[in-house]
Amino acid sequence: MFDNFPLWPVRASTTAGSVDALYIFLVALSLFMSVGIFTMICIFALRYRRRKGLEAEQIEGSTLLELTWSAIPLVIFLFIFAWGAVIYFKERTAPRGATQIYVVAKQWMWKLQHEEGQREINELHVPVGRDVEMIMTSQDVIHSFYVPAFRIKQDVLPGRYTTLWFRPTRSGTYQLFCAEYCGT
């Protein structure tokens, strides 16, 4: 749907579509709520403005109304949480038989080694259509392995192994970033 939309990078993995769908839903919900709140503020400002000769009246609350405007956002937030949790657990559970690549993060550098022994620095070459599991650690500071086209990001910590997996769906050249400041 949004393959040619200039604000998103190319979708190049199986999880990119579900991450984009959640993001688009959140933006649309925020836009809908912002327009709704702005409209109601304008309506109430005009309808209930101060008029000469009219005294304000005390209005008592409605328990049903208050429960309704508390329950509806709760259901929406639980739906968003569940949707995000499903995406998170799918991204964190690598399928059996995934190709493993070992990654060591260093200041200004990613060192990668494939199962077969091939080594790369700051580049990653993987086959399209095969599951790839990254087993990562850091030698010095906190890094963050980030490939926008795959919609994956994982913090890499010194003294700890973290994993991440993806399945590329499109061949091409995609940027590999560290989303942390790796300097001194």
**165 burial type by CB count under 10 A (0-12 exposed, 13-18 middle, 19+ buried):** buried
Q: Distance between CA atoms of 156 and 152, rounded to whole angstroms?
A: 13
Q: What are phi and psi of 35, to 5 degrees?
A: -65, -40
How many structural domains comprise the chain?
A: 1
In a domain? residue 139: yes
Q: Are 151 and 14 in contact (CB under 8 A)?
A: no
Q: Tell me whether residue 86 is in a domain.
A: no
Kindly report the average pLDDT of the chain as a whole number: 90
pLDDT band at 16 (very low <50, low <70, confident <90, very high): very high
The answer to whether residue 160 is domain-embedded is yes
Q: Domain holding 117: CATH number?
A: 2.60.40.420
Domain assignment present for residue 71? The answer is no
Please choose, from the candidates 53, 178, 55, 47, the residue with its C-alpha nearest in 3D space to the C-alpha of residue 110. Answer: 178
The residue range of the domain holding 128 is 1-47+94-184
Is residue 77 assigned to a domain?
A: no
* Reported pTM: 0.82
Residue 145 maps to a domain: yes
3 contacts 20 by C-beta, under 8 angstroms: no
Q: Is residue 20 part of a domain?
A: yes
**CA 129 – CA 153 distance, rounded (Å):** 20
Contact status, residue 168 vs residue 12, Cβ threshold 8 Å: yes
Cα dihedral sign, 85-24-94-123:
negative
- What DSSP line would sit under 125-162, residue for residue? ---TTS-EEEEEEESSS-EEEEEGGGTEEEEE-BT--E
Q: What is the pLDDT of residues 94-146, one digit of tens each?
A: 999 999 999 999 988 899 999 999 999 998 899 999 999 999 999 988 999 99
Model pLDDT, residue 4: 65
Q: What is the pLDDT of residues 49-80, one digit of tens each?
A: 878 888 878 878 889 999 999 999 999 999 99
